[in-house]
Amino acid sequence: MTAILSSTIISLLLYFQNYLLVLTYGSYGFISKKVPCACSICVTDRENSNWFSERYDPNIPLLLNSTNGVLHANVSRWWKELQSSAGNYTEVVDQLFPLFPDKKHYSDAGPDRCRTCAVVGNSGNLLGSNYGPLIDFHDFVMRTNKGPTEGYEKDVGSKTTHRIVYPESAVDLDNSTHLVLFPFKILDIQWLISAFTTRHITQTYTKVPSTIKANKDKVMILHPEFIRYVYDNWAERHDRYPSTGFLSLIFALHICDEVNVFGFGATSDGIWHHYFDKTLTSYEISVHAGRFENETINRLQQENKILMHKGWT
């Protein structure tokens, strides 16, 4: 009975959050007549925000497969410049799809669907938030890097449908979770192949696991062109390349109809640290344009494309 009551309360919370967003749209006259999904407000509805429409490209390739593996010259050149030593991309990609799924994903959008996503970052503002049940209620729960759930279920939930990693942040997964590799270098793709076959790669710029527990039939590889797109359109070419969290959020805008964001930003006292340790972090001292990414995320909230949950507000 308690479980049923909790589920009902969460459903009502999500419904009324959407309802309030619709009223906000209505107060500015932004309600679209087209219905791209069954949610109260759909991320892909580009008619209600010129700012969003100028940046969002629905035709950008999201994930690598055998039909889109050839990179445009400008993408290839930019992506390889991020790497200290580039291998042979064509040879590496040719090894991918006999090993991992070779199909198009997330092509089932439509007016009868409402795919809800929780993008869960690793901010300390999750501690004491009691967001766990709300996070787990979403269709997709996307977590980045090593953020654990065990011992933190009350605040971060226990459900994970997508774990977004690169070799240096890889963790073991259960059989139901998609491993989504964000390749910032060719060696990242080589490591993925090695982790499921020869296990010979143990070092990149630091020590990495030689293998990983994961379902190879649920492996996905973010397309390098998507990384470049986020850098050009959303990060507006600030700094070297987008952060994993920022890429994850923009990725969610392309596969979800409704996006709720948890665990991004500082704590209530302005401190930046992970919920699972007290190591201080800074979005200003890195190769990523942290301040600009933060401003863009806030703008997405203002444009009613995402709903931010800051824990302490």
Summary mean pLDDT of the chain: 87
pLDDT tens-digit series, residues 50-73:
999 999 999 999 999 999 999 999
Bridge partners for 63 per DSSP = 222
- Rounded CA-CA distance 283/91 in Å is 36
Residue 107 binned pLDDT confidence (cut-offs 50, 70, 90): confident
Most confident of 71-85, 86-100, 179-193: 179-193
pTM for the predicted model, two decimal places:
0.86
- 152 catalytic residue (yes or no): no
Q: Residue 30: what pLDDT?
A: 42
Query: Choosing from 162, 254, 288, 309, which is the catalytic residue?
Result: 288
- 288 catalytic residue (yes or no): yes
CA distances (Å), 297 to each of 66, 197, 245, 251, 271, in order? Answer: 32, 38, 11, 13, 18
pLDDT tens-digit series, residues 136-178:
999 999 999 999 999 999 999 999 999 999 999 999 999 999 9
Domain regions of the chain by residue span: 2-309
Query: Choosing from 166, 241, 275, 283, which is the catalytic residue?
Result: 241
- CATH of span 2-309: 3.90.1480.20
pLDDT at 197 over 80: yes
Closest CA to 78 of 201, 226, 258: 226
Bridge partners for 117 per DSSP = 140, 259
Residue ranges of the annotated binding site for substrate are: 83, 122, 145, 205, 241, 245, 265, 274, 288
Read off the amino acid at residue 294.
N
